[in-house]
Structure 1
Amino acid sequence: MPIWNCGGCDLPWPCPTRKRELRAEYAGAPVSLALYLGSYLVQAAEDMPWTPAGALHRRFVGWIRQTARPAQAVQRRSKSAAPDRYERQ
């Protein structure tokens, strides 16, 4: 059965080198990268049924968000745009 090791370095796939390559290849398309790796996650789960699902998730897709850009800061409303309190008439 395949054990999903890198053909170049024999580390678990995706190895650090392949992760860098995937980040570059899918730059600006994180959803496409997640779908691509998700399909491999399903195949690996079939090939390695003894491996815990959480370990496979971390290995195949868990690292994607760690390298994503931080979320944009939420802009605060200015007091002139939204009053602190509404007055009753």
Structure 2
Amino acid sequence: MRKTEPPAHLNTRPSWDCLVCGKPWPCVTARTRMLVEYREFPSTLTVYMSAQMYDALNDFVAAGQLAPTDLFDRFLAWGRRGLNSPDE
């Protein structure tokens, strides 16, 4: 019997909500998985999430929306806190 992979909690553009759970991306599941995936290379996670944050900012502005005030916390701050509190 083949083990099935859980669905990937990826972003959907231009809303930047999670494709699986519909919460603002990166959702708790996505954060937790990325912290595990990048645990050996946390600076790579920071670079990746910085690029994602700027893509999100560009999408919001292109849609005529104000940039959400929580972009830094949503995309970057949680990575510094590590595995102990991915949902903060």
Match of 1:51 among 67, 70, 77: 67
* Percent identity over paired residues: 32
User: Rg larger in 1 or in 2?
Assistant: 1
Q: How far apart are 1:55 and its partner, in Å?
A: 1.0
Instruction: Give the root-mean-square deviation of aligned CA atoms.
Output: 1.8
User: What 5-or-longer segments of structure 2 have no aligned partner?
Assistant: 1-12
| Aligned partner of residue 51 in structure 2, secondary structure | helix
Mapped partners of 2:60, 2:77: distance in 1: 18
1:7-86 alignment, distance < 5 Å: 7-49=19-61, 50-52=66-68, 54-67=69-82
* Higher strand proportion (structure 1 or 2): 2
Give the aligned residue type for 2:78.
W
Q: 1:24 to 1:68 in 2, by over 3 A?
A: closer
| Residue-pair matches, total | 68
- What TM-score, normalized by structure 1, do the two folds share? 0.69
Give the aligned residue type for 1:12.
P
Runs (4+) off by over 2 Å: none
User: What 5-or-longer segments of structure 1 have no aligned partner?
Assistant: 70-89
